[in-house]
Structure 1
Amino acid sequence: MPTSADPAQRPAQLALANGLRVRLLPQRASSQAAALLRVHAGSHDAPTDYPGLAHFLEHLLFLGSRDYPAADGLMPFVQGHGGQLNASTRERHTDFFFQIPARHFEHALLRLLDMLAHPLLDPDAQLREREVLHAEFHARAQDAETLCDAALGRAMAPAHPFSGFHAGNRETLPVEDHAFQQALFGYHRRFYQAGQIELLLAGPQTPEILLQLAELAAAKLPAGRVASPQAPALCKTKDGWLRLQLDSVQPRLLIAFVFDGVREQSPAALDYLGVWVESQAPGGLAQQLREAGLCRSVKLRVPYWYEDQGVAVIEMLPMEKGNDERATLVDAVLDWLRFFSEGAHWPSCWEDYRLIRRRNLQVAEPLAQLRYWVEPWAWGADSDEAGIRQALAAITRQVTDYAPLVLTADATVCPIIDTEGFPLRMAFEAALQPNRIDWEWQQPARNPWLSGEVARHEARGLPTALSWSGPQDKGGQGALFLRWQFTGGLPSSSLWHALAHVIRPSIWAAHQAGVALQFDDVGDAWLLRLEGFAEAIPTILGDIIALFAAPPATAFIEDSRHADNDTLRGDTMLLRQLLDRLPRMLGPAVTTLNSPVQADSAELTKTWQCAIWQGLAVGFAEDMSGPIAHALEALPGRSVLANSAVTNTPHKRWLSVGNQAPRDDTALLLFCPLPAITPECEAAWRVLAKQLEGAFYRRLRSELQLGYAVFSRFSQFGSRTGIVFGVQSPTASAAQILEHIEAFLSSFREKLAEDTAAFSEQLAREAANTHVADEMDLRARASQAWQSLMSGHEIDHPQQVAAAMRALKPHDLTAASEALRRGTGGWVVLSNAAAPNMSWT
Structure 2
Amino acid sequence: MHSSADSAQRPPQKTLAHGLRARLLPLVSSSKAAALVRVHSGSHDAPIAYPGLAHFLEHLLFLGSRNYSAAEGLMPFVQGCGGQLNASTRERHTDFFFQLPASQFEEGLHRLVDMLAHPLLDPEAQLREREVLHAEYLARAQDAETLCDAALGCAIDPPHPFGGFHAGNRSTLPVEDPGFQASLRGYHCRFYHTGQIELLLAGPQDEGVLQRLAEQMDAGLAAHPYVSRKTLPLCANANAWFRLQLSNAQPRLHLAFALDQLPERAGPALDYLSVWLASEAPGGLSQRLREAELCQSVKLRTPYWCAGQGVAVIELLLTERGLDDRAAVVDAVLDWIAFFSDDARWQPCREEYQLIRERSLQNAEPLARLRYWVEPQAWGLDSDEAEIRQALRSLTAQMLAAPPLVLTTDMSDCPPIETCGFPLRLKTEPPQRTAPAAWHWQQPAMNPWLKPNIARREAVDITPALRWQGPEDMSGQGALFLRWQWVHGQSSTALWHAVAHALQPAAWAAQQAGVTLRFEDFGSAWCFRLEGFAEAIPAILSDTISVLSVPPAEAFAEGVALANRDAALGNDEMLIRQLLKHLPRRLTNAAEVDGQPAFIGPGSLSRRWQSAQWSGLAVGFAPSLGGPLADAIYSLPGTPAVIPTDHSKPAAVKRWHDVRGDGATAETGFLLFCPLPDRTAKCEASWRLLARVIEADFFRRLRSELQLGYALFSRFCQFGEQAGMLFAVQSPRASAKEILEHVVKFLDDSAVKLADQADSEAERAARQAGNQHVDSRADFRAQAEQAWQCLQAGHELDRSAEVAAEMRMLQQQDLMAAMDALRGDDASWVAVANAPAPDLSWR
Compute the TM-score of the two structures, normalised by the length of structure 2: 0.97
The 3 A distance-change label for structure 1 pair 644 and 13 is same
Residue correspondence of structure 1 range 362-511 to structure 2 within 5 A: 362-511=362-511
3-state SS of the aligned residue for 1:6?
helix
CA distance 1:102–1:751, change in 2 (3 Å): closer
Instruction: Show structure 1 runs of 4+ deviating over 4 A.
Output: 589-594, 659-662, 754-759
Give 1:254 deviation, angstroms.
Answer: 0.6
Aligned to 1:673: 675
The match for 1:230 is 230
2:636 aligned partner: 635
Asked if the contact 1:523/1:587 (under 8 Å) is kept, the reply is: yes
What SS does the aligned partner of 1:425 have?
A: strand
Equivalent residue letter for 2:581? D
* SS, match of residue 283 in structure 1: coil
- Where does structure 2 lack aligned partners over 5 or more consecutive residues? none
* Distance (Å, rounded) in 1 between the aligned partners of 2:491 and 2:573: 28
Q: CA deviation at 1:228?
A: 2.0
**1:757, CA displacement in angstroms?**
4.4
Q: In the alignment, is the contact (CA less than 8 A) between 1:253 and 1:315 conserved in 2?
A: yes
Gaps of 5+ in 1: none
Cα distance between partner residues in 2 of 1:518 and 1:39:
35
Q: How far, CA to CA, are the matches of 2:593 and 2:245 in structure 1?
A: 29
Q: By how many angstroms is 1:661 displaced? A: 5.8
2:788 is aligned, of 768, 786, 800, to: 786
Moved more, 509-518 or 325-334: 325-334
Deviation at 1:112? 0.7
How far did residue 836 of structure 1 move? 1.5
Aligned CA distance change for structure 1 residues 374 and 756 (closer, same or farther; 3 Å): closer
CA-CA distance at 1:758 after TM superposition: 8.8
- 2:713 corresponds to which residue? 711
Partners in 2 of 1:349 and 1:124 — Cα distance?
A: 56
Tell me, yes or no, if the aligned pair for 2:78 and 2:85 is still in contact at 8 Å.
Answer: yes
Structure 1 CA distance for aligned equivalents of residues 250 and 309 of structure 2? 30
> Which amino acid in 2 is paired with 1:522?
F
* SS of equivalent residue, structure 2 residue 488: coil
The match for 2:586 is 585
Residues 217-296 of structure 1: pairs in structure 2 closer than 5 A: 217-237=217-237, 239-296=239-296
Equivalent position amino acid for 1:264 in 2:
E
Change (3 A) 1:592 1:467: closer
- Asked if the contact 1:87–1:96 (Cα under 8 Å) also holds between the matched residues in 2, the reply is yes
1:614 matched residue in structure 2: 615
Partner-residue secondary structure (3-state), 1:71: coil
On the 8 A contact 2:4/2:361 being kept in 1, the answer is no
How far apart, CA to CA, are the structure 1 residues paired with 2:733 and 2:507? 38
Aligned residue number for residue 733 of structure 1:
735
Give 1:609 shift: 2.1
Partner in structure 2 of residue 56 of structure 1 = 56
- Report the CA distance between 1:550 and its aligned residue: 2.8
Confirm or deny: 8 A CA contact 2:506 2:544 kept in the other structure. yes
2:833 maps to 831
1:591–1:761 CA distance, 2 compared to 1 (3 A):
farther
CA-to-aligned-CA distance 1:29-48 (integer Å, 9 cap, x gap): 21111111100000001111
2:169, 2:591 → 1: CA distance?
40
For each residue in 1:153-188, what CA deviation from the matched residue of structure 2 results, as whole angstroms up to 9, or x when unmatched? 111122111011100001111111111111011111
Structure 1 pair 593–96 and aligned structure 2 pair: CA distance change class (3 A): farther
Contact 1:593 1:657 in 2 (8 A): no
**2:247–2:410 Cα contact (<8 Å) kept:** yes
In 1: Cα distance, 2:232 partner to 2:133 partner:
28
Give, as a single letter, the amino acid of the residue that structure 2 aligns with 1:60.
L
Report the 3-state secondary structure (helix = DSSP H, G, I; strand = E; otherwise coil) of the residue aligned with 2:33.
Answer: strand
Give the SS at the match of 2:367: helix
Q: What is the CA–CA distance in structure 2 between the aligned matches of 1:372 and 1:645, rounded to whole Å?
A: 43
Aligned to 2:104, the other structure's residue is in SS state helix
Which amino acid in 1 is paired with 2:197? I
Match of 1:529 in 2: 529
Number of the residue aligned with 2:770: 768
Partners in 2 of 1:646 and 1:210 — Cα distance?
48
Take 1:518 and 1:365, find their aligned partners in 2: how far apart are those partners?
18
Post-superposition offset of 1:213: 1.2
Contact 1:773 1:784 in 2 (8 A): no
Q: Which moved more, 1:736-745 or 1:184-193?
A: 736-745
Count of matched residue pairs: 839
TM-score under structure 1 length normalisation: 0.97
For residues 451-502 of structure 1, the C-alpha deviation after alignment (integer angstroms, 9 at most, x for no partner) is 1232222212322121111222221111111111122333332222221111
Distance 1:401 1:157 in 2: 18
**What code does the residue aligned with 1:643 have?**
P
Encode CA deviations 1:704-727: one digit per residue, 9 max, x unaligned: 111111211111111111101111
Aligned 8 A contact 1:293 1:321 in 2: yes
How many angstroms apart in 2 are the aligned matches of 1:404 and 1:617?
Answer: 48
Determine the C-alpha separation between the residues in 1 that align with 2:702 and 2:638: 47
Specify the SS of the correspondent of 2:225: coil
- 1:33, 1:102 within 8 Å by CA — same for their partners in 2? yes
Kept in 1, the 8 Å contact 2:569–2:664? The answer is no
Shift of 1:562: 2.1
Displacement, 1:123? Answer: 0.8
Deviation digits for residues 89-147 of structure 1 (CA, Å, limit 9, x no counterpart): 00000000111111111111111111101111111100000000000001111111111
The separation in 2 between residues aligned to 1:4 and 1:580, in whole angstroms, is 33
Distance in 2 of aligned mates of 1:603 and 1:169: 50
Corresponding residue number in structure 2 for 1:553: 553
Hey, what does 1:567 align to over in structure 2? 568
User: What amino acid does structure 2 have at the position aligned with 1:92?
Assistant: R
After superposition, the Cα gap between the structure-2 partners of 1:402 and 1:237, relative to the gap in structure 1 and judged at 3 Å, is closer
**1:46 alignment counterpart:** 46
Tell me the amino acid that sits aligned with residue 783 of structure 2.
R
The corresponding residue for 2:142 is 142
**Secondary structure of 1:428's partner?**
strand
2: CA distance, partners of 1:840 / 1:563: 26
Residue pair 2:515, 2:533 contacting (<8 A) in 1 also: yes
1:280-330 deviation line (CA, Å, top 9, x unaligned): 011000001011010011111111011011111111111000000011111
Shift of 1:404: 1.1
Indicate conservation of the 8 Å contact 2:491/2:523, yes or no: no
Q: Distance in 1 between matches of 2:594 and 2:158?
A: 46
Is this contact kept in 1: 2:4–2:362, CA < 8 A?
Answer: no
Equivalent in the alignment of 1:299: 299
Tell me the alpha carbon deviations over residues 525-548 of structure 1, each in whole angstroms, 9 at most, x when there is no partner: 110111101110111011111222
Instruction: Report the CA distance between 1:617 and its aligned residue.
Output: 1.1
Which deviates further from its counterpart, 101-110 or 87-96? 101-110
Amino acid in the other structure paired with 1:362: Q
CA distance in 2, matches of 1:533, 1:548: 21
* Structure-2 residue corresponding to 1:816: 818
Cα separation, 2, equivalents of 1:332 and 1:239: 16
| CA displacement at 1:80 relative to structure 2 | 1.2
- 1:117-132 aligned at under 5 Å gives the runs 117-132=117-132
> In structure 2, what is the equivalent of residue 340 of structure 1?
340
Deviates more, 1:624-633 or 1:637-646: 637-646
Structure 1 stretch 440-449 or stretch 390-399: which is displaced more? 390-399
Alignment check: 8 A CA contact 1:255 1:330 kept: yes
Q: Is the 8 A contact 1:644 1:789 kept in 2?
A: no
For 2:501, the aligned partner's letter is H
Give the structure 1 partner of residue 605 of structure 2: 604
Q: CA deviation at 1:807?
A: 2.7
CA distance in 2, matches of 1:375, 1:64: 29
Is 1:807 the counterpart of 2:801? The answer is no
Deviation at 1:646, TM superposition (A): 4.4
Residue 208 of structure 2 aligns with which residue?
208
Q: Tell me, in whole angstroms, the C-alpha distance in 1 between the residues paired with 2:486 and 2:388.
A: 52
CA distance 1:377–1:505, change in 2 (3 Å)? farther
**Partner-residue secondary structure (3-state), 1:794:** coil
Question: Alignment partner of 1:772: what SS?
Answer: helix
* Counterpart contact for 2:494–2:562, Cα < 8 Å: no
How far, CA to CA, are the matches of 2:423 and 2:760 in structure 1? 47
